[in-house]
């Protein structure tokens, strides 16, 4: 019987076991869901099931950059509480998974989870073990692995691993000055969170959508129809400056835009520099976070 992705997903939701373990169990059980659950229980792989429905929206972003700046990776690993995110064992796990992501460059999250963590143990199996030991739901949410031939990758970590940014600079140089520029741009991205690198990258649907909103705003303000279009274009250009990295005011020097700082470094090094990729991870971004505090959680556990 063919084992579908939907069957694997259903078994994973029911047991909290790893993706690959679920697939193997379903294969062994010839697609019988109840038998697959029993197989996982027999192997002690459903031990995280009771924790799998808890929201894991805290955690850490791990970052690793090779010594020569040619390869780098970031991973976001979530936990239920910030308390666990400060646990040394959890931090070591995040660092090791990030190293695996950088060295193996897996094509997707499933491939990362199936990669060897250590001594024949997969990342996913190690994660399951950590959930059982630490006692909280955790998951490897996402990762990014970058590499470059000409130029270098630089990064910045903010708030003890709550926000991390990688910047890929293409140039006929890999000097320290280029690395400094990359770190400054990464800091800019961490603080200002631009949507795009340059105006050339801006999605036309985004521009059309924003233009419509700005037109309605101007009309609602009672502005005459004959000047609305010109006014809207001015406002749109101002907005693009805020969402495009290279157009933003540089956080370390308000007299310059980021593109000016790039141009200054390019001139100093005598090479052309291009910002070709930017990756920004923020812990729990887009996830629902628990509202109860630690004291309330303890009270619940004690039945008070």
**What would the CATH number be for the domain defined by 5-51?**
1.10.8.10
Q: Summarize pLDDT for 225-279 with one digit per residue, the tens.
A: 888 888 888 888 888 899 999 999 999 999 999 999 999 999 999 999 999 999 9
Average confidence (pLDDT) per 10 residues, the chain, 304 residues: 87 79 91 88 62 72 97 95 91 97 95 95 93 88 96 94 97 95 97 94 89 86 85 88 95 96 97 97 80 51 50
Its pTM stands at 0.75
- Domain positions in the chain: 5-51, 55-147
Who's near 165: CB < 8 A, 6+ residues apart?
155, 156, 158, 186, 187, 189, 190, 278, 279, 280, 281
Q: Summarize pLDDT for 75-97 with one digit per residue, the tens.
A: 999 998 889 899 999 999 999 99
Total Cβ atoms within 10 A of residue 222: 6
**What would the CATH number be for the domain defined by 55-147?**
3.30.479.20
């Amino acid at each position: 019987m063919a084992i579908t992705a939907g069957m694997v997903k259903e078994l994973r939701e029911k047991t909290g076991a790893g993706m690959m373990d679920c697939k193997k169990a379903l294969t062994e059980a010839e697609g019988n869901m109840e038998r697959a659950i029993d197989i996982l229980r027999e192997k002690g792989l459903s031990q995280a099931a009771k924790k799998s429905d808890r929201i894991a929206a805290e955690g850490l972003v791990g970052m690793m950059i090779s010594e020569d700046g040619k390869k780098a990776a970031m991973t976001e690993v979530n936990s239920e509480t910030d308390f666990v995110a400060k646990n040394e064992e959890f931090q070591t796990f995040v660092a090791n998974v990030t190293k695996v992501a950088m060295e193996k460059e897996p094509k997707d999250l499933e491939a990362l989870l199936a990669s060897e963590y250590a001594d024949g143990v997969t990342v996913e199996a190690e994660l399951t073990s950590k959930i059982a030991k630490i006692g909280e739901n955790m998951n490897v949410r996402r990762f990014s692995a970058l590499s470059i031939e000409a130029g270098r990758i630089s990064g910045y970590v903010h708030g003890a691993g709550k926000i991390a940014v990688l910047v890929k600079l293409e140039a006929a140089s890999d000097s320290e000055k280029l690395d400094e520029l990359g770190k400054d741009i990464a800091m800019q991205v961490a603080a200002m969170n631009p949507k795009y690198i340059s105006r050339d990258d801006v999605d036309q649907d985004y521009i059309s959508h924003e233009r419509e909103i700005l037109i309605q705003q101007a009309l609602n303000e009672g502005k005459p129809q004959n000047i609305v279009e010109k006014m809207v274009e001015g406002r749109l250009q101002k907005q693009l400056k805020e969402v495009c990295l290279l157009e933003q005011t540089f956080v370390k020097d308000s007299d310059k835009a980021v593109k000016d700082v790039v141009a200054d470094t390019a001139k100093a090094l005598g090479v052309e520099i291009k910002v070709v990729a930017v990756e920004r991870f923020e812990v729990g971004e887009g996830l629902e976070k628990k509202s109860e505090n630690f004291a309330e959680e303890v009270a619940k556990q004690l039945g008070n």
